[in-house]
Amino acid sequence: MNTLEQPRPPFPPFDAESAAQKVRMAEDAWNTRDPHRVSLAYTPDSLWRNRSEFLAGREAIVQLLTRKWSQELDYRLIKELWVYQGNRIAVRFAYEWHDDSGHWFRSYGNENWEFDDNGLMRRRIASINDAPISEKDRKYFWPIGRRLDDHPGLSELGL
């Protein structure tokens, strides 16, 4: 098996614990802001809808995430499990970021995920809306990178 094709436990079918683990692993990876690392959680031919963009494959994922994180500065993300069944997981998320002019935003959304038997995501459908916020209304203050275990999640923050 190619290094890029390494299985990614936990594997479907998911239960509450393994689905929550998969969600936290995805959140942690996205908070690295490393497009190549993030892309390895997806099948080589993974299909995405991200906002109004449709793409396929890891290279397209890397390109989208590289562009995204060059524009969404000081990005911090929280994901929360919504529901799971079999090889599918639905999450809700919110992330905070600012543009190069210092304007802050909180982006809210939902994702539907479908996994192959090796635990790689083969489909990601994301709906995302951006809301301008003032800097004083920010809620995410952990250092760039992985959210601290004691930092509140979406529900605890009232999001």
Mean pLDDT of 4-12: 90
Where helices occur in the chain by DSSP H, the ranges are: 16-32, 35-39, 58-71
124-134, pLDDT tens digit by residue? Answer: 999 999 999 99
Mean pLDDT of 109-129: 98
Q: What is the pLDDT of residue 5?
A: 76
Domain residue limits, the chain: 9-137
| Residue 2's pLDDT band (cuts 50, 70, 90) | low
Q: What is the pLDDT of residue 68?
A: 98
Mapping DSSP to helix (H, G, I), strand (E, B) and coil, where does residue 131 land? strand
Mean pLDDT of 70-95: 98
Give CA–CA dist 159/153, Å, rounded: 9
| CATH architecture, domain 9-137 | Roll (3.10)
